[in-house]
Amino acid sequence: MTSRAPSAPSALTSRQHAKAERTAQLLRAASHLFAERGYAAVSIGDVGSAVGISGPALYRHFRSKPALLGAVLIDISERLLAGGTTRSGSLTELISFHADFSLSEPDRIRIYERDLAHVGPDEARLVRRLQRQYVDVWVAALIATVPGTTEGLARFRAQAVISLLNSTPHTMNTRLADPRAELIALAHGALGIYG
């Protein structure tokens, strides 16, 4: 009995997987470089070099440098929304999720705050829409958790606490024993929930 060669769909899946992994590597490298040097100081060649490819090879994955930045910002926005949505029933879980995200992704948080102006209008609209949807998850959780909270107050508090949690890239060098616990305690206090 002879063994059969892999079918074309398996080979295609393997290529797709390799391309997806390379894209993820490029997003991580771009995030780090953009955060470290600033978007304007990083070239396509710098990003390609960071993952062992030529700058022009990067164009197989992204049509331009602004598109690469857009992909970084869309990725972070989609992951925040997906993670927040799965925890939408618990304000405490939302706070923990965002604190963990901010502490594990300081480069992307820094870019998220600083570089949206450099992406194209389509990507900027999508990022802003995803941001609004993420804040909406927080608003609903706040209204459900804190009696008497109006939508306007919930939106104000959600945006303020998300900003507080996003401050982690600026405070990572502190010598606190448990910065995560401190962030979570601050968020709980700011939202008026304790325990």
Residues ≥6 apart with Cβ < 8 Å to 179:
103, 168, 171, 172
At what angle are helices 151-165 and 91-104 packed, to 10 degrees? 30
User: At which residue do the structure tokens 């990067």 appear?
Assistant: 58
pLDDT at 177: 80
Please write the tens of the pLDDT for every residue from 71-103: 999 999 999 999 999 999 899 999 999 999 998
SS (H, E, C) the chain: CCCCCCCHHHHHHHHHHHHHHHHHHHHHHHHHHHHHHCHHHCCHHHHHHHCCCCHHHHCCCCCCHHHHHHHHHHHHHHHHHHHHHHCCCCHHHHHHHHHHHHHHCHHHHHHHHHCHHHCCHHHHHHHHHHHHHHHHHHHHHHHHHCCCCCHHHHHHHHHHHHHHHCCHHHHCCCCCCCHHHHHHHHHHHHHCCCC
The span from the CA of 33 to the CA of 69, in Å, is: 11
Please write the tens of the pLDDT for every residue from 111-134: 988 898 899 899 999 999 999 999
Mean pLDDT of the chain: 88
Confidence band for 8, pLDDT divided at 50, 70 and 90: very low
> 27 near 71, Cβ under 8 Å?
yes
Once rounded to an integer, what is the mean pLDDT over residues 11-29?
A: 84
Q: What are 174's two structure tokens?
A: 């502190």
Q: Is the pLDDT of residue 51 over 80?
A: yes
The span from the CA of 100 to the CA of 187, in Å, is: 13
Q: Which residue has the higher pLDDT, 11 or 43?
A: 43
The region of weakest confidence among 17-21, 27-31, 162-166 is: 17-21
Residues ≥6 apart with Cβ < 8 Å to 157:
142, 149, 190, 191
- The pTM assigned to this predicted structure is 0.84
